[in-house]
Every structure is written in C-alpha cells, then in structure tokens.
Amino acid sequence: MSQDNLIIAGKSYASRLLVGTGKYKDFTETQAAIEASGAEIITIAIRRSNIGQNPNEPNLLDILPPSKYTLLPNTAGCYSADDAVRTLRLARELLDGHSLVKLEVLGDPQSLYPNVVETIAAAKTLVAEGFQVMVYTSDDPIIAKQLEDIGCVAIMPLASLIGSGMGILNPWNLQLIMDRVQVPVIVDAGVGTASDAAIAMELGCHGVLMNTAIAAAQKPVLMASAMKQAVEAGRSAYLAGRMPRKLYSAAPSSPTTGMIGKA
C-alpha cells in the first residue's frame, strides 16, 4: 500500500488513522496506545502550565516528541473564533513555527457540537495568517465546501458527538461532502469501535481521527491495534470496489446444476 498514502497539505502519511492523546490513564498507556495505533498524526491540547506543581514532572512532548510525530494542536474548549485563533498562535510558537493545526470551535458544552459560524470566522483568520487548517465541522456539505474555499487543508466532519461512541449517524451527508470537496475528508468525533472506522473508510473517507474510542475502551492498547486494522481493512475494501447491494436477486455462489436426486 506504499502508493496509497494520505496527503495533507503536500505532506505524505502512511497511516490514515489519526489519534488524540487525551483521556488515557497515564503517559505509559498513552504511549503504548499511540504506538499500537500506528498513527503518525496525533492531536494535543494547549493549556495553562500548572505553575507551582512538580517541576520534574514529564511533559507529554517528552514521550511523544515532535521529531517522531506530526503534532496537531487543537482548540478544544474554545467557544469563540478569537479564543481559537489565540490558542493556535500560542501553539505555533510552542512548536517552533509548526503550522498544521486542528481548528474546532464548539457551540455548547453539553453536546460539544461545532459552532460553524465561529469556525468559519476563525478559519478565515488562521488561513490568512499562514496556518494549515484541518477543520473539525458538522456534516453539513455546504459548510464543508465553504471551509475548503477559505483554504482549509482538510475537512473533518463528525460521525457523531465528541466522545459519544455512536458511530456514523449520517453516511449520506459524508458522501455529499466527499462529492463536493477536493481536500482530504477525515471523519473526526463519535467513532466508537472498529467497525465505525471501517465504515468511514469504506465510504471513501481519507482518514479517521479518534480519541475516546481508544482511550475509553476496556483495553486501550488492544483497541488501538483493532482500529489500525479497521482503517486498513476499510481502505482496502474501498479500493477493491465492493459488490453492489441488491434487495432482490438472490444469486447462489454454488452451481445450480448437478444437484443429487431424491434418495
């Protein structure tokens, strides 16, 4: 599959599974799960330093260094375009000018559904400032196209609500999005188990981003491995070109002649 790499903003990635780094028990588990997933692109959050806490405490980037992974700073917890833009400016400074980012602007804390109006405003500012924006959004195909037109390098529609594990609620909207945008479409949010990831890839999505599905599994490292396989399987199935679905027209796979007679 060496020629089937995921291309985002001109850079090539072998893994179509992107994973988050939150909600793990500890750094050991985080590292083991990321390793098992085979992910090359991993999201991180930007937060205030715990001043006064143990100064010898390792930082996330000590175990997941920028030299080994493509870090994708997010704007989790931002409810306005201004906050998201500020956060990503800080992230870019933190990561020595690295400009590939994940933009998410949320609408309310109960659903964590994206506020697409603020998302569009933030995307405009960020693209103008030279960021390469991978944008988390709803599965609205019109908004997706607008975000692409603004200059986002990837569209990341939700499968279902963040952390819900409900899987893909509207595969038809994902199809509408893929029919309309040229940049990679990466399903982000709501994946719950391996089949959800496989379905996303079978639909023709270019990748899947998940966090809770792995971190909240009973055995995160095993689930990470399952997800790696699911994304690969779904992608292969997509490239293989599935058989058509037919409601009627049952057609047996075995010959219909030469059946043995009645005893």
Catalytic site residues? 102
Closer to other proteins by Cβ: residue 138 or 212: 212
Closer to other proteins by Cβ: residue 51 or 251: 51
Q: Would you state the torsion angle of the CA atoms of residues 190, 48, 155, 240, taken in this order, to the nearest 10 degrees? A: -60
Q: How far is the CB of 22 from other proteins (least distance, A)?
A: 4
* Binder among 6, 17, 20, 103 for other proteins (CB under 8 A): 20
Q: What are phi and psi for residue 135, nearest 5 degrees?
A: -110, 120
Three-state DSSP at 37 gives helix
| 92, 131 Cβ separation under 8 angstroms | yes
Q: Tokens 């030299």, residue?
A: 67
The structure tokens listed for 80 are 């306005």
Q: What are phi and psi for residue 136, nearest 5 degrees?
A: -75, 130
- The verdict on 132 binding other proteins (CB under 8 A) reads no
- The verdict on 32 binding other proteins (CB under 8 A) reads no
Residues 192-211 that bind other proteins (CB under 8 A): 210-211
Stretch that binds other proteins, among 7-15, 93-101, 199-207, 235-243 (CB under 8 A): 93-101
- The verdict on 24 binding other proteins (CB under 8 A) reads yes
Which residues partner with 19 through β-bridges?
42, 210
Q: How far is the CB of 80 from other proteins (least distance, A)?
A: 14
Tally of CB atoms within 10 A around 12: 10
Q: How far is the CB of 239 from other proteins (least distance, A)?
A: 28
Stretch that binds other proteins, among 6-14, 85-93, 179-187, 253-261 (CB under 8 A): 85-93
- The verdict on 90 binding other proteins (CB under 8 A) reads yes
Closer to other proteins by Cβ: residue 176 or 227: 227
Q: Please give the Cα distance from 225 to 38 (Å, whole number).
A: 8
- The verdict on 45 binding other proteins (CB under 8 A) reads yes
148, exposed or middle or buried, with CB in 10 Å at 0-12, 13-18, 19+?
buried
Residues 149-178 that bind other proteins (CB under 8 A): 162-163
The structure tokens listed for 131 are 């960021």
Return the amino acid letter for 256. T
Contact set with other proteins (CB under 8 A): 20-24, 30, 43-49, 51-52, 55, 59-61, 71, 73-74, 76, 86, 89-91, 93-95, 162-163, 210-212
